[in-house]
Amino acid sequence: VQLQASGGGLVQSGGSLRLSCAVSQSTPIDHYAVGWFRQAPGKEREAVSGIMVSDGRTYYKDSVKGRFTISRDRAKQTAFLQMDNLKPEDTAVYYCATGFLGGWMNYSPERHNEFYWGRGTLVTVSS
């Protein structure tokens, strides 16, 4: 399984960015979720948002609800994270991942190996 992430960059507070994550796998990943985690300097990695490829069920971290929107293109096995009204506290390296949706809901560092990970992409929000 390979994950190709794109997007990220520098934006002012209140601005928007869009991340994408394409999953390459020989067999369909319908029973998995795709989404993002983030890790700010000096902090642990945390779950941000995930979406079930099959039925579109979603998970959002409380602090991003109403600002971030996750979607997916099932045929292309690609997920998108539209991030609006970004805040300086959203600054972090964002990692796309695929795994069971429950992993987003109950993530801890001990569960790292339950996911396949893509390269991180830096999101910087200036105040």
- Measured CA to CA, the distance from residue 72 to residue 93 in angstroms comes to 21
Distance CA 65, CA 3 (A): 25
> Strand 46-52 vs strand 17-24: parallel, antiparallel, or unpaired?
unpaired
Q: What is the pLDDT along the chain (127 residues), one digit of tens a residue?
A: 899 999 999 999 999 999 999 998 766 667 789 999 999 999 999 999 999 988 999 999 999 999 999 999 988 889 999 999 999 999 999 999 999 888 888 899 899 999 999 999 999 999 9
pLDDT at 26: 66
pLDDT at 104: 86
Q: DSSP letter at 103? A: H
Nearest one of 61, 98, 68, 96 to 82, comparing CA atoms:
68
What pairing do the DSSP bridges indicate for beta strands 46-52 and 33-39?
A: antiparallel
Beta strands in the chain (DSSP E): 2-6, 9-12, 17-24, 33-39, 46-52, 58-60, 68-73, 78-83, 92-99, 116-126
